[in-house]
Chain A
Amino acid sequence: MPTTTIDGHRIQVDAEGFLTDPMEWTEDLAKVLAAQIGIELADEHWKAIRFVRQDFADQGETATLRRVSVVGEIPTKTLFALFPQKPAKKLAYVAGLPKPRGCV
């Protein structure tokens, strides 16, 4: 399993670059990861990140986009605006979680 250093943060990642240990995640790291993919975190991003982090802790898997919109109460349109193009994967990446496995 590779480790990588991003802006001074040494983290364990999978082949693609997603964190493999959610416990290595910090809010500081989230800002660094977001910057890597061209996102500057605002309050609305944090609402989504905190929801998926908490949901992962409760459910043991990464929330799908639908779950973030229905349970996390962040509309789909907003998620596409916050994390353009690939909102589910980008959100998971910044939140230090695996990619969601569900289809919807």
Chain B
Amino acid sequence: MTTTETAPIVPSFGESEPGRKLAIICSKGNLDMAYPGLILANAALGEGVETHLFFTFWGFEMINKNTMGHLKFTMLGNTATHMPQGLGGLPGMTAMATHQMRKAIAEIDVPEVPELLQQIADSGGHLWGCRMSADMQHLGLDDLYEEVEDIISASDFIEKTAGAQLLFI
């Protein structure tokens, strides 16, 4: 019997694509629109991808200490809830829809926004606040989540993320 020495099968952990970079622009402040960017950022970091998040306009709510833990979800303007749109405008409906969504997210062990941001920062992700949004709302770095590295202009962000793949959410 002849034996042939074959190379062992060992997973490739992506050493073949070093230097991959991802830039995510978070522009929405609704609870349901906060998660996609954060989940993708977390996933990218777990795959060894350098990841930068830029929080702008309503996305600023995600890093504003006063609002980041209280993002809301509304049925209004969202036909994917498959409920009559008129219901969404009734008093208390946004609070109820928000409560339901938070519960569904917690049930699958996905953390709340502040905790997920912390996890992203701990994984080496970079969080940036948008200069124009800060100026419009008269907010400074002290008003933002501690892990936000700085408030920077749009051009600074473009410069920092040269060569990156980009997601606008």
Binding site for B on A (CB under 8 A): 2, 4-7, 13, 16-18, 33, 36-37, 65-67, 69, 75-77, 80, 84-90, 93, 102-104
Determine the residue in chain B with the shortest Cβ distance to A3: B9
Interchain CB contact under 8 A, A17 and B9: yes
Query: With A76-B122, A77-B122 given, is the CB distance from A104 to B109 under 8 Å?
Result: yes
The answer for the CA separation of A32 and B10 in the assembled complex, in Å, is 11
Query: With A76-B119, A86-B46 given, is the CB distance from A104 to B39 under 8 Å?
Result: yes
Determine the residue in chain B with the shortest Cβ distance to A36: B10
Residues of A with C-beta under 8 A to B123:
65, 76-77, 80
Interchain CB contact under 8 A, B110 and A104: yes
Could you list 9 examples of A-B contacts with CB < 8 Å?
A: A17-B9, A36-B8, A36-B10, A37-B13, A80-B123, A80-B124, A86-B13, A103-B110, A104-B110
Name B119's contact: one of A13, A17, A66 (CB within 8 Å).
A66
Residues of B with C-beta under 8 A to A76:
119, 122-123
The answer for the CA separation of A37 and B8 in the assembled complex, in Å, is 12
The answer for the CA separation of A65 and B46 in the assembled complex, in Å, is 8
Count chain A CB atoms within 10 A of each CB in B11, B14, B116 and give the residue with the most: B11
Determine the residue in chain B with the shortest Cβ distance to A88: B46
Name B47's contact: one of A18, A75, A86, A102 (CB within 8 Å).
A86
Interchain CB contact under 8 A, B13 and A13: no
Q: Does B98 contact A (CB under 8 A)?
A: no
Interchain CB contact under 8 A, B9 and A4: yes
Q: Does B111 contact A (CB under 8 A)?
A: yes
Name B14's contact: one of A66, A85, A102, A103 (CB within 8 Å).
A85
Interchain CB contact under 8 A, A90 and B110: no
The answer for the CA separation of A36 and B12 in the assembled complex, in Å, is 10
Known contacts A6-B8, A80-B124, A87-B46; 11 further A-B pairs (Cβ under 8 A): A2-B9, A4-B8, A4-B9, A13-B9, A66-B109, A77-B122, A85-B47, A86-B46, A103-B110, A104-B111, A104-B119
Determine the residue in chain B with the shortest Cβ distance to A4: B9
Tell me how far the C-beta of A86 lies from the nearest C-beta in chain B, rounded to whole angstroms: 5
Residues of A with C-beta under 8 A to B11:
16-18, 37, 89, 93
Interchain CB contact under 8 A, A37 and B10: yes
Residues of B with C-beta under 8 A to A93:
11
